[in-house]
Amino acid sequence: MLTFHNNGDHLIAIVSGVVNSFEDLSAMAHGVVEMTSEHWSKKALVDFRTVSMNIDFLSAQTLANDLEDEGVQLFGIRLACLYTHENIDIYRVFETAHQNRSLNFKIFEHEDEAVDWLMS
């Protein structure tokens, strides 16, 4: 499940439930990209702290490849991702894969640090 709040200077996307497949992951990522476009926002805080992420590293890599192929990096969107330690390895793969494709995606444990990065 994906819910959004407009915080004025950035969007807040809250992901909850379970991500079990690449299709779930792709739908979530495209939902965030679409909402930033609809709200004319280039910045989003994506909160994964209440989601159970049951995907493999290849899915994270494939998502980054697909977003790059779609030209998402050209939109200038900046995404800060809040994570929990239980899935730290998959979030590190997300971060590396996305950054290697010029997608502005960074993971954070603390919300205040994430917002500071978004606003910088």
- The pLDDT tens digits for 92-117 are 999 999 999 999 999 999 999 999 99
Q: What does the pLDDT read at residue 84?
A: 84
Q: What does the pLDDT read at residue 86?
A: 80
Q: What does the pLDDT read at residue 109?
A: 94
- pLDDT at 80 exceeding the cut of 90: yes
- pLDDT at 63 exceeding the cut of 90: yes
Report the C-alpha gap between 52 and 19 in whole angstroms: 6
Q: What does the pLDDT read at residue 7?
A: 87
DSSP structural state of residue 106? E
Report the C-alpha gap between 79 and 36 in whole angstroms: 10
pLDDT-derived band at 79, boundaries 50, 70, 90: very high
Report the C-alpha gap between 69 and 44 in whole angstroms: 21
Q: For the whole model, what pTM was predicted?
A: 0.89
Q: What is the mean pLDDT of residues 15-22?
A: 92
